[in-house]
Amino acid sequence: MMNLKARGFTLIELVVVITILGILAAFAIPKFIALDSLARTATVNALAGSVKSAAALARGLEMATGGTSTTSVTMEGQAVTMLNFYPDLPGIALAINMTGTDFTYAPATGIWTKTNAPTPAGCIVTYTPATALAPPTALATTTGC
């Protein structure tokens, strides 16, 4: 007579594993759901940093070439228009040289809007050009991301 030994898992072992997986999923799924909002917030903050850097680079280039406060500078083949030694509203978009469809830019207002945000008006970067007394600002608003 052959000795046959059953192989596999018992019903109790399967139920325990499924229960543990269910508990882990209950804690993990909310964390993954929140990642899209965190990603949009990080993208908006990164764009604000890029805008600040581009403004500083354009200013440095204009100062190094001996330009006046409104002399255009060429950055990566683009003529960046300047105002008070910093890029103006149309010029800043050329200075950052952004490609893609993640943001839309309104040159009349200096606002980049995140395209897939739940509340687009609250997921923006606002560029305020330099004045004679103050440098430009790039403000990230992430309440709608």
Strands 73-75 and 137-141: unpaired
pLDDT of 11 reads 82
Please say whether the beta carbons of 124 and 114 come within 8 A: yes
Please say whether the beta carbons of 138 and 125 come within 8 A: yes
From residue 63, give the alpha-carbon distance in Å to each of 33, 56, 68, 74, 114.
47, 10, 8, 13, 32
The pLDDT averaged over each successive group of 10 residues in the chain (145 residues) is 67 86 79 82 96 96 90 93 96 91 93 94 96 96 94
pLDDT of 6 reads 64
Q: How far is Cα 126 from Cα 122, in angstroms, rounded to an integer?
A: 11
Cβ partners under 8 Å of residue 33, min gap 6 = none
| pTM of the full structure | 0.78
pLDDT of 84 reads 95
